[in-house]
């Protein structure tokens, strides 16, 4: 199966031709220039134009870009990778629905500044030019391959307290709130109304009505060659400073301060098993015995409550 997607916008290139970023003002399924695209977006070429411009302060060139990609093939360029990240953050594609194999190789390391992206070898010269020509300073937000999502895509119906905590490529459903210490990586995110005060690692998806508590975390798939995709079901609660390295079904709770990894010995009604053996089961309460330290999994019969609807009406 082949799925094509097109994008049109602006790309920033360093003096050596390296692609620093791409911002797609328009993108959709299909191929650029096909009948459907021309009918739905008749004025793209007029608005985007063909002219490039040079930014002497950053020593970069900003060029119009028009591209068509096959999202079932691995990214073939930085421009290709950026279009996939736009699709995820705009909610046109859910996590794990696009081929992102090798995306770290496709993207380039960039200095992200208040002036825009800068090539890493150029940053000191850029600082000097800004000081000399504007009597100002360059504010550096970070050095990374992924920019902040909100600098490229602002999805409707969400609140994000700190833009630096959400990478481009994160998928945040309507009703999601990401508080100041919350974090969401690329190809990961929420599928419904959620409170995020902890960490949603790469590849992790969180179901509707769930709460990732302050300092809580979910084990991602990037480090150590991990391949299992961790998911948190609907109406779950990861307590403050808790964590999970297994999937949680619906209506699960992990008590505050408890990190359940795949190899954690867990006492269940049927005996002690490794946590991976009960991965994805719904209606489980994970607690630690105060006197022995034994991790216990109990069937849940009560609700932990629910999200405050007033906090998630993000109009």
The pair of structure tokens assigned to 295 is 């991790």
The pair of structure tokens assigned to 198 is 């902890």
Under DSSP, is residue 255 helix (H, G, I), strand (E, B) or coil? coil
Q: Tell me how far apart the alpha carbons of residues 235 and 250 are, in angstroms, rounded to a whole number.
A: 6
CB neighbours of residue 40 within 10 Å: 11
Q: Is the per-residue pLDDT at 224 higher than 50?
A: no
Note the Cα 284 to chain centre separation in Å.
Answer: 27
The pair of structure tokens assigned to 173 is 């459903």
Rounded average pLDDT over 128-148: 96
Say whether 197 is catalytic.
Answer: yes
Active-site residue, selected from the candidate residues 13, 122, 133, 197: 197
Nearest one of 73, 107, 71 to 92, comparing CA atoms: 71
Q: Tell me how far apart the alpha carbons of residues 214 and 270 are, in angstroms, rounded to a whole number.
A: 32
- As a whole-number percent, the residues of the chain with pLDDT over 70 amount to 93
Backbone φ, ψ for residue 260 (5° rounding): -100, 110
Quote the pLDDT of residue 2: 83
Q: Is the per-residue pLDDT at 167 higher than 50?
A: yes
Q: Is the per-residue pLDDT at 65 higher than 80?
A: yes
Quote the pLDDT of residue 315: 67
Nearest one of 181, 188, 139, 189 to 164, comparing CA atoms: 181
Q: Is the per-residue pLDDT at 1 higher than 80?
A: no
Contacts of 113 (CB under 8 A, 6+ apart): 123, 126, 138, 139, 140, 141
Rounded average pLDDT over 200-208: 95
Write out pLDDT tens, residues 257-315.
999 999 999 999 999 999 999 999 999 999 999 889 999 999 987 765 666 665 556 66
Q: Is the per-residue pLDDT at 128 higher than 70?
A: yes
Quote the pLDDT of residue 305: 65
Q: Are 194 and 173 in contact (CB under 8 A)?
A: yes
Quote the pLDDT of residue 203: 92
Q: Tell me how far apart the alpha carbons of residues 148 and 263 are, in angstroms, rounded to a whole number.
A: 34
Nearest one of 112, 144, 151 to 23, comparing CA atoms: 151
Q: Where are the beta strands (DSSP E) in 30-176?
A: 53-55, 60-70, 110-113, 116-119, 140-144, 159-160
Task: Using DSSP bridges, classify how beta strands 183-184 and 140-144 pair: parallel, antiparallel or unpaired.
Answer: unpaired
Q: Are 53 and 27 in contact (CB under 8 A)?
A: no
Q: Give the model's confidence band at 97: pLDDT under 50 very low, under 70 low, under 90 confident, else very high.
A: very high
Write out pLDDT tens, residues 10-36.
999 999 999 999 999 999 999 999 999
Model confidence, pTM: 0.92
Domains of the chain: 4-107 (3.30.70.2010), 149-302 (2.160.10.10)
Rounded average pLDDT over 84-107: 97
Alpha helices, DSSP H only, in 107-241? 123-134
Mean residue pLDDT of the chain comes to 93
Q: Is the per-residue pLDDT at 61 higher than 80?
A: yes
- The three-point CA angle 120-18-67 to 5° equals 135
Rounded average pLDDT over 132-143: 95
Quote the pLDDT of residue 229: 84
Give the range among 83-97, 107-121, 163-177, 300-314 with minimum mean pLDDT. Answer: 300-314
Give the range among 46-50, 70-74, 87-91, 237-241 with minimum mean pLDDT. Answer: 46-50
Q: Render the burial of 150-174: b for 16+ CB within 10 Å, e for the rest.
A: bbbbebeebebeeeebbbbbbbbbe
């Amino acid at each position: 199966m082949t799925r094509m997607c097109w994008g049109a916008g602006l790309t920033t290139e360093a003096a050596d031709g390296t692609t620093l970023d791409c911002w797609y003002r328009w993108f959709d399924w299909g191929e650029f220039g096909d009948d459907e695209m021309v009918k739905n977006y008749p004025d793209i070429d007029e608005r985007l134009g063909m002219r490039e411009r040079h930014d002497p302060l950053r020593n970069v060139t900003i060029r119009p870009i028009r591209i068509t990609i096959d999202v079932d093939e691995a990214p073939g360029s930085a421009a290709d990778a950026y279009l996939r990240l736009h699709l995820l953050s705009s909610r046109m594609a859910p996590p794990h629905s696009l081929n992102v194999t090798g995306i770290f190789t496709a993207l380039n390391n960039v200095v992200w500044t208040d002036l825009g992206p800068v090539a890493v070898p150029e940053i000191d010269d850029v600082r000097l030019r800004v000081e000399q020509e504007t009597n100002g300073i360059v504010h550096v937000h970070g050095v990374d391959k992924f920019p902040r999502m909100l600098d490229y895509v602002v999805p409707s119906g969400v609140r994000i307290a700190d833009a630096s905590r959400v990478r481009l490529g994160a998928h945040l459903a309507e009703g999601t709130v990401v508080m100041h210490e919350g974090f969401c990586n690329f190809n990961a995110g929420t599928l419904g109304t959620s409170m995020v005060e902890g960490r949603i690692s790469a590849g992790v998806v969180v179901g509707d009505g769930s709460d990732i508590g302050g300092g809580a975390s979910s084990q991602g798939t990037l480090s150590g060659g991990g391949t299992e995709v961790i998911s948190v079901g609907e109406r779950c609660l990861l307590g403050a400073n808790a964590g999970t390295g297994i999937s949680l079904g619906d209506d699960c709770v992990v008590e505050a301060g408890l990190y359940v990894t795949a190899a954690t010995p867990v006492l269940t009604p049927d005996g002690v098993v490794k946590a991976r053996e009960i991965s994805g089961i719904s209606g489980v309460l994970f607690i630690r015995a105060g006197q022995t330290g034994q991790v216990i999994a109990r069937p849940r019969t009560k609700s932990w409550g629910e999200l405050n609807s007033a906090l998630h009406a993000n109009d």
